[in-house]
Amino acid sequence: MNYQYSKTLFERAKRSIPGGVNSPVRAFKSVGGTPLFITKARGAYLYDADGNEYIDFINSWGPMILGHAYEPVVKAIQEKAVLSTSFGAPTELEIEIAELIKSITPGIDLIRMVNSGTEACMSAIRLARGYTGKNKFIKFEGCYHGHADCFLVKAGSGVATFNIQAVPGVTAGVSADTLTCAYNDIDGLEKLIAAHKNELAAIIIEPVAGNMGCILPEAGYLEVLRKICDREKMLLIFDEVMTGFRLAAGGAQEKFNINADIVTYGKIIGGGMPVGAFAARREIMEYIAPVGSVYQAGTLSGNPLAMIAGYTLLKILKENPVIYQELEAKGAYLEKGLKDVFKKKNMPVQINRMGSMISVHFSSHKVKDFAGSSASDISAFNRFFHHMLDSGVYLPPSAFESWFISNAISYQDMDRTISAASRF
């Protein structure tokens, strides 16, 4: 394919934007080559500045679950935009989407809208500390909860992609309150807790990790985390920025039948627009200002365009549970097709999937944590990425990211994807 205009735009961008991009993974630094500049998208397809068409397996990192430019969402945004794009004051729509999310999601009474998944997770940790009166918390190696200082310790996503082990600008004091443990390792977690008895406010986890590839919790793992948090009087925080409303209408909490104490959401609740939220039981959420003294604020929180987009999308997901059955079937079809391809080629590949989240790891060993993901053949993935890109299939430009399937994708699209993989 011809990428010449994207190359021209990238050179131009580097003169005004750090690295030429506004989020690091977009730079293609891990996989090599020039990032594509996208001009439009519709359904399952992306179109770049050179006019190339791609089957999209990023879907804006998850929220485009029904495909790009989904007509009911676009129409709702257009109708709302003529009334103004921002008020900085309460609207009835904020109540409606809060009530809708409560009706879908188990175990929450109150929800606060924010502007990104990063902000949601940052606020959730602040709330957990305020509620428990303790400062330290545990996160898991390879899990990415946004770029707030306290999370940039052994993080996944772009931090893993660029192999940044220590982030300049994050103080030692902040890092000292962030304790890390391997994902799926209960013994290691128990030892860490024992070493910091009565100091821990919370455990935060991606219930299905999406920032070291798609990593599934082993059987019983999340249930044990719930019991440990109850025993130690810690809060369990589910980061559902990726899994919320994607694995099921009620997210991972519904999928695994486990209630977290606090849950965080990202861009899917804005239909792909900049938005986030955190939610919990009333007794916890009433620690947040203006009811309580844990401060959090945002001028654009509850922005009407994001709220109407999210309300429209989530209402469709709630009223059409068959969507999740269709996504499961499509995910299973793609998984089987790719497994068959690599088996015939006698290539050591691990394919992890849950629902419409999937990733390919070039490894002969089961990938169940960050160490396993890091030990896979990254150079093989990078070659695979460019092969698929040249074949018209757009994958995440990093071995440390989950793929996301939209319900707009057809079985013909997946057959094209599988066929392209067979030529690798």
Exposure string over 264-279, b if 16+ CB within 10 A, otherwise e: bbbbbbbbbbbbbbbb
Indicate the DSSP class of residue 35. P
**Rounded CA separation 338/348 (Å):** 12
Task: Give SS3 for 357.
Answer: strand
Token pair 């879908």 in the structure block, residue: 104
Q: Which of 144, 265, 287, 311 is catalytic?
A: 144
Q: Burial, 170: exposed, middle or buried (Cβ in 10 Å; 0-12, 13-18, 19+)?
A: middle
Do the Cβ atoms of 76 and 312 come closer than 8 Å? yes
Could you tell me which of 379, 396, 96 has the C-alpha nearest to residue 242?
Answer: 396
Do the Cβ atoms of 186 and 53 come closer than 8 Å? no
- Which residues, at least 6 apart from 95, have a Cβ–Cβ distance to it below 8 Å? none
Could you tell me which of 361, 343, 322, 317 has the C-alpha nearest to residue 214?
Answer: 361
Q: Which of 80, 134, 255, 267 is catalytic?
A: 267
**Rounded CA separation 233/373 (Å):** 32
Token pair 């009407």 in the structure block, residue: 304
Any catalytic annotation for residue 183? no
Q: At what angle do helices 322-344 and 411-422 cross, to 10 degrees?
A: 20
Token pair 């490894």 in the structure block, residue: 363
Any catalytic annotation for residue 267? yes
Q: Which of 48, 56, 185, 239 is catalytic?
A: 239
Task: Give SS3 for 172.
Answer: helix
**Rounded CA separation 398/323 (Å):** 28
**Rounded CA separation 267/244 (Å):** 10
Beta bridge mates, 263? 238, 279
Any catalytic annotation for residue 187? no
**Rounded CA separation 261/279 (Å):** 9
> In which element (H, E) is residue 365 found?
none
Catalytically active residues are 144, 239, 267
